[in-house]
């Protein structure tokens, strides 16, 4: 489960913001399927002055990603893309006051039906297409870039609007509906660790003794893998549970700070948490894994997400909202060139999802890296930027891309 995967590298590692970012606003519907609900302004930001002679890359972040902040796109263009493209970021509706205000019901409480109406993936896809039309006209084409939840949103977008996308780069794309269809386990890391029964026994007792800390404990366990290497995770997870069993307050406080637990919980309770909950609901409901809760075992990742998405789960199970079905059939006819970068040791998203996605597109390149979800292999350095720039600039099958892939074969996972 992705729960803000890397998300707070956003707040914790604030980029050097441009003094005066280049931006403009466009007016979009609150709900593309019911424009009578009203409209609001959405901000789009440019990495550099827009040049109509260059191809345009739209950077896609979904409702639970916040690395696109005001002033961040110029730095992102320099670090990831270079100057061969127009780089455009959408400062999403989930962080825009007018959209958040439209989800409020009586007394200012969140109306979760409205929240679903305004923040579901369909609306974010509509925003991407609205930006395309604003910049390139009704028939204009463009490139897409996204990672993790944003990559998942790109694949959803391609199924509806792919005819306008020339090239799309996606890193660690998730797809919970596909994971469910493939019968992939959602919490593999915890399942492996729970093979030691003593860990679960200890944790069950801690939770019984400290019920008020349950959310923080489960969130710490859920987020630990974003900060610890796959090789070190079993040892670190055991150490954390042992510290909790002793009720080592200092160790727990250190874990909460290191894994940004309180920042995450505060964010979920804030107005921005509404869009996060909707996006996480889309993941969790599609996976169906929340039905494992109550089976007598502990599922930190599933529980952490379920807690914040419960109102939406209840609406869906009553039939009051209807999440769309996922169908890859339109992908088979696309001419879009799609590059998928996946990590063999990804703790958040099963790499086999990328394999299934890749072979749904007639024109694709799949690179399965010997790395984890954060692509933290120190030897890899700036490889991802080189891949992004080479693919977007020259395309699949180009001598430039083939040469680069040959050079980095050492980074590819081999069984």
DSSP string, 381-404: TTHHHHHHHHHHHH-TT-HHHHHH
Please give the span between the terminal C-alpha atoms of the chain, in angstroms, as a whole number.
25
**Looking at residue 254, what is its pLDDT?**
98
Q: How confident is the model at residue 10 (pLDDT cuts 50, 70, 90)?
A: very low
Name the nearest CA neighbour of 312 among 322, 303, 302, 301: 322
Higher pLDDT, 276 or 297: 276
**Looking at residue 62, what is its pLDDT?**
86
Query: What is the rounded distance in angstroms from the CA atom of residue 133 to the CA atom of residue 331?
Result: 22
Q: How confident is the model at residue 17 (pLDDT cuts 50, 70, 90)?
A: very low
Least confident of 55-64, 67-76, 193-202, 402-411: 193-202
Q: In what helix (H) or strand (E) does residue 113 lie, and over which residues does it extend? A: helix 112-119
**Looking at residue 9, what is its pLDDT?**
45
Q: What is the pTM of this model?
A: 0.90
How is residue 77 annotated by DSSP? I
pLDDT, tens digit, for every residue of 278-302?
999 999 999 998 998 988 888 888 9
What is the average pLDDT across 25-42? 97
Q: What is the DSSP string of 215-243?
A: HHHHHHHHHGGGTS-TTTHHHHHHHHHHH
The answer to whether residues 94 and 119 touch, using CB atoms and an 8 Å cutoff, is: yes
Domain locations along the chain: 9-180+326-411, 188-318
Least confident of 2-6, 41-45, 224-228: 2-6
pLDDT, tens digit, for every residue of 195-224?
678 898 999 999 999 999 999 999 999 888
Say which residues have a Cβ less than 8 Å from residue 300's Cβ, sequence separation at least 6: 187, 190, 218, 219, 221, 222
Task: Look at residue 176 and tell me whether its pLDDT is greater than 80.
Answer: yes
Six token digits for residue 38 = 């009203």
pLDDT, tens digit, for every residue of 312-331?
999 999 999 999 888 999 99
The answer to whether residues 400 and 371 touch, using CB atoms and an 8 Å cutoff, is: no
**Looking at residue 196, what is its pLDDT?**
77
Name the nearest CA neighbour of 64 among 221, 260, 274: 274
Among all chains, which residue has been given the structure tokens 């739209």? Answer: 58
CATH number at 9-180+326-411? 3.40.50.1820
The answer to whether residues 16 and 235 touch, using CB atoms and an 8 Å cutoff, is: no
Higher pLDDT, 179 or 2: 179
Alpha helices in 246-347 (DSSP H): 249-258, 261-269, 273-287, 300-318
């Amino acid at each position: 489960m992705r729960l803000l995967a890397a998300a707070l590298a956003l707040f914790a590692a604030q980029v050097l913001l441009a003094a005066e970012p280049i931006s403009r606003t466009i007016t979009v519907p609150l709900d593309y399927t019911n424009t009578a609900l009203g409209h609001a302004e959405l901000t789009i930001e440019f990495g550099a002055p827009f040049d109509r002679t260059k191809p345009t890359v739209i950077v896609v972040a979904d409702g639970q990603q916040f690395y696109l902040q005001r002033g961040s796109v110029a730095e992102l263009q320099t670090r990831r893309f270079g100057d061969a493209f127009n780089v455009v970021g959408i400062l999403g509706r989930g962080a825009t006051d007018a959209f958040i205000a439209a989800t409020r019901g009586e007394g200012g409480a969140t109306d979760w039906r409205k929240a679903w109406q305004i923040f579901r993936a369909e609306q974010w896809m509509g925003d991407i297409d609205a930006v395309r039309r604003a910049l390139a006209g009704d028939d204009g084409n463009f490139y897409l870039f996204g990672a993790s939840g944003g990559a998942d949103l790109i694949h959803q977008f391609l199924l509806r609007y792919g005819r306008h996308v020339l090239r799309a780069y996606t890193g660690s794309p998730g797809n919970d509906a596909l994971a469910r269809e493939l019968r992939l386990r959602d919490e593999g890391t915890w399942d492996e660790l729970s093979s030691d029964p003593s860990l679960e026994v200890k944790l069950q007792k801690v939770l019984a003794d400290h019920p008020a800390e349950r959310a923080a404990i489960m969130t710490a366990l859920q987020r630990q893998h974003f900060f610890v290497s796959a090789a070190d995770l079993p040892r670190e997870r055991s150490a954390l549970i042992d510290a909790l069993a002793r009720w080592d307050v200092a160790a727990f406080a250190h874990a909460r700070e290191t894994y940004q637990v309180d920042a995450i919980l505060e964010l979920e309770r804030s107005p921005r948490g509404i869009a996060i909950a909707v996006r996480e609901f889309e993941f969790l409901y599609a996976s169906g894994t929340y039905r494992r809760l109550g089976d007598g075992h502990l599922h930190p990742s599933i529980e952490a997400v379920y807690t914040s998405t419960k109102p939406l789960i209840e609406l869906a199970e009553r039939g009051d909202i209807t999440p769309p079905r996922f169908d890859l059939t339109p992908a088979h006819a696309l001419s879009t060139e799609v590059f998928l970068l996946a990590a063999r040791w990804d703790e958040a998203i099963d790499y086999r999802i990328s394999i299934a996605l890749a072979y749904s597109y007639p024109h694709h390149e799949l690179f399965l890296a010997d790395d984890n979800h954060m692509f933290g292999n120190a030897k890899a350095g700036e490889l991802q930027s080189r891949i992004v720039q080479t693919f977007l600039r020259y395309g699949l099958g180009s001598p430039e891309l083939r040469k680069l892939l040959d050079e980095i074969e050492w980074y590819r996972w081999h069984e």
